[in-house]
Structure 1
Amino acid sequence: MKYTNITTIKDFIITGFPGLSPKYYGPVSALLLLTFTAIVVGNALILTIIVYERTLHKPTYMIFFHLAMTDVIFGFVTLPKIIARYWWNDVISSFGVCFTQMYFVHSLGAIHSLILLIMALDRFVAIWLPFRYPVMITNKTISIACSMCWVVTFIRMLGIVLHALTLPYCNQNVIRHCYCDHMSITRLGCGENVKYVKMVSLGNAMVILLVPLAFIIISYFSIIIAVLKMSHTESRHKVLSTCAPQIFITCLYYVPRCFVYLAHNLGFSFTADARILITMLYSLIPAVVNPLIYCFKTKDIKEALVQRFKNKKASIAICNSN
């Protein structure tokens, strides 16, 4: 087949789950709406608590703040369109909107990965260099580091999106996914450079996933070694209770992605619906679960919530007595 060098399509069609029967559209859209609500409300609560509770103005909670921000924005970027697809059968996404969604999907994933790296380094310094921690890890240094993650990633990812835009799109326009991502879009490209564009994107994805993961594994492995060397049980418990939420959040993000990557390279194949479902689960479940981890597994946030609740009950009681 001879391809032209001119993009002829004006929009994309979002299929969602290709094999889903129309009778399940209502329940699926309701489930996605519930997920969207949980992501927004849960993470907005964390953002509000960290902003207004002065006792939480510490480096660790500033990292949590940035993680919650990525989760909220990711929910707004991905879910409204797929909810509309199943609720109102709104399957059309314009060319520009689809590429914009792709840009934010991959940018937010990369930012989340880098902030998890900062979180691991924060715990590494706290455990191995406790006397240097107040000097090395401050609100200012964490703010600068997290801000750089956002700025550098947005600039770098712009190059990936513009590279995909160099391809002509002239034959197919059906996106077999719940949102526009690089793989779904570029497989619709035509011309001789499609393979090269995909290889560049794959290399970028592997670097942004595996390099932070390598440092994260080394950091937490070092922390575990430090814990095993501690003689006092109380000290061990304190360190583990501090690090456990961060390790769990990191595992939620990386383990499913690594599983999918290994399964693909070991020859395991998934149906289109199974592949999309797995992608949606590992993309959205951490954003839903993270606020629960912050609230119930992080001592300072839990205490702040309990104190706010007690103060509110006290003020209500005073008002009722008057």
Structure 2
Amino acid sequence: MAGHYLMANDSTTFNFVFVGFSGLQEKFYTLFGSLMFCVYSISLCANSIVIVIVLKKKQLHQPMYIIIANLAFSDLIFDTSTLPIIISKYWFGAESISFSGCFIQMGFIHSLNCLDSLTLLLMAFDRYVAICKPLRYHAIISSRTSIFLCLAAWFAATSVGIFVMTWGVVLPYCGPNRIKHFYCSLSMVVALSCVDSFSIRKNGLYAGLIMHMGPFSLIVVSYIIILINICAITRLENWQKALNTCITHWFVITIFYIPRIVDYGYQAWGIPNADIAALMICIYSFVPHMSSPIIFCLRNKEIKKSLENGCRQMVCFR
């Protein structure tokens, strides 16, 4: 039996198969694959534009924009590591992934999810200092400090991803290989193990709660303090200016965290339908990555102005 387990964990002999939406009829595969292709194309273009604008424009080499570019880069890697596989499944029937490929993807997914939470926390910290301690802003947060904080977030998130991945990779897999999901997440993969994985799935849920709800709690506290300080501002134009700088972040935070909170509620009480679980995961995994750079481009005056100038230059060049 031990030898059989060892062979099952050999990446050359064991593959996982993505089920995705089990209730989706085959005649709709091309349509759904096209939808995912559109999502990936929008995410790829929008996040790339944000990264290029921030890197190219010297006036955007400021802490807030560096953090925004960091979020866009994280989302770009996440979507590139997941969406092409989903598209291939529904367009070409390529629905399997190797054992090693699955756990490499798992490491990326959990690392980047954690990184997004930490990056949103950095955004909230930046807004807290800018609004509550404006005279000390440049002394507390500089471009160099923001780069260091982003690198620290990458290190912490990568450590979490590797740690979570090792929980699953050491288990034996010798039987069912159909993942009721679109990508390799810990909870879905370890459920296929030959041994009881309940404790690992429970620990994975707790790790997810800490990884996301911890930063979310700090974000909520920081914005409560920000709102209190905004309400204390007497001049109307200053009040509106301070509020406008936060609205964009609130949009991004809402679409990132609210679907996750709902999903954690489903997991805590038991998900009645695998397709509902897959839908929730699609919403909180890909919608924020596609919409957040668009929100930043539309709501942030500096990014919007740089984008408009770039478009004018292209038109004039043609």
User: TM (normalized to structure 1)?
Assistant: 0.92
- Describe the superposition over 1:103-149 as per-residue Cα deviations: whole angstroms up to 9, x where unpaired: 11111000000010011011001111111110111111110011111
Q: Which residue of 1 aligns with 2:169?
A: 165
**Distance of 1:31 and 1:313 partners within structure 2:** 30
**Distance of 1:40 and 1:231 partners within structure 2:** 42
Deviation of 1:307 after TM superposition, in Å, equals 2.3
Correspondent of 1:200 among 189, 199, 203:
203
Cα contact 1:167–1:191 (8 A) shared by 2: yes
Cα contact 1:177–1:184 (8 A) shared by 2: yes
Q: Which residue of 2 aligns with 1:319?
A: none
- Describe the superposition over 1:230-273 as per-residue Cα deviations: whole angstroms up to 9, x where unpaired: 111101110111111111111110111112223444x4744211
Give the direction of change, closer, same or farther, for the CA distance of 1:206–1:3 in structure 2 (3 Å limit): farther
**Distance of 1:312 and 1:246 partners within structure 2:** 30
Cα contact 2:123–2:249 (8 A) shared by 1: yes
SS at match of 1:13: strand
Q: Which residue of 1 aligns with 2:260?
A: 257
**Distance of 2:218 and 2:249 partners within structure 1:** 14
Correspondent of 1:177 among 169, 177, 181:
181
Deviation of 1:275 after TM superposition, in Å, equals 1.3
- Describe the superposition over 1:269-307 as per-residue Cα deviations: whole angstroms up to 9, x where unpaired: 442112101110111011111121111100111111222
SS at match of 2:135: coil
Correspondent of 1:237 among 228, 235, 240:
240
Pair 1:222-2:235 in alignment: no
Cα contact 2:19–2:178 (8 A) shared by 1: yes
**Distance of 2:77 and 2:206 partners within structure 1:** 25
Q: Which residue of 1 aligns with 2:216?
A: 213
Identity, % of aligned positions:
31
Q: Which residue of 1 aligns with 2:115?
A: 111
Give the direction of change, closer, same or farther, for the CA distance of 1:85–1:311 in structure 2 (3 Å limit): closer
1:73-84 matched pairs, under 5 angstroms: 73-84=77-88
Cα contact 1:3–1:190 (8 A) shared by 2: no
Residue identity in the other structure for 2:100:
G
Pair 1:149-2:153 in alignment: yes
Deviation of 1:80 after TM superposition, in Å, equals 0.6
Correspondent of 1:133 among 118, 134, 137:
137
Deviation of 1:202 after TM superposition, in Å, equals 2.1
**Distance of 2:313 and 2:175 partners within structure 1:** 62
1:36-115 matched pairs, under 5 angstroms: 36-115=40-119
SS at match of 1:189: coil
Q: Which residue of 1 aligns with 2:23?
A: 19
- Describe the superposition over 1:146-169 as per-residue Cα deviations: whole angstroms up to 9, x where unpaired: 111112221232122112112111
Cα contact 1:3–1:191 (8 A) shared by 2: no
User: TM (normalized to structure 2)?
Assistant: 0.94
Cα contact 1:4–1:191 (8 A) shared by 2: no
Cα contact 1:245–1:294 (8 A) shared by 2: yes
SS at match of 1:302: helix
**Distance of 1:86 and 1:34 partners within structure 2:** 13
Give the count of matched residue pairs: 313
Residue identity in the other structure for 2:190:
T
Unmatched segments (≥5 aa) in structure 2: none
**Distance of 1:174 and 1:310 partners within structure 2:** 50
Correspondent of 1:299 among 287, 298, 301:
301
SS at match of 2:134: coil
Deviation of 1:313 after TM superposition, in Å, equals 4.0
Give the direction of change, closer, same or farther, for the CA distance of 1:21–1:3 in structure 2 (3 Å limit): farther
Residue identity in the other structure for 1:273:
D
Q: Which residue of 2 aligns with 1:320?
A: none
Cα contact 1:19–1:273 (8 A) shared by 2: yes
SS at match of 1:188: coil
**CA RMSD of the aligned region, Å?**
1.8
**Distance of 1:311 and 1:88 partners within structure 2:** 40
- Describe the superposition over 1:208-248 as per-residue Cα deviations: whole angstroms up to 9, x where unpaired: 11111111000111111111111111011101111111111
Pair 1:288-2:290 in alignment: yes
Unmatched segments (≥5 aa) in structure 1: 317-322
Q: Which residue of 2 aligns with 1:271?
A: 273
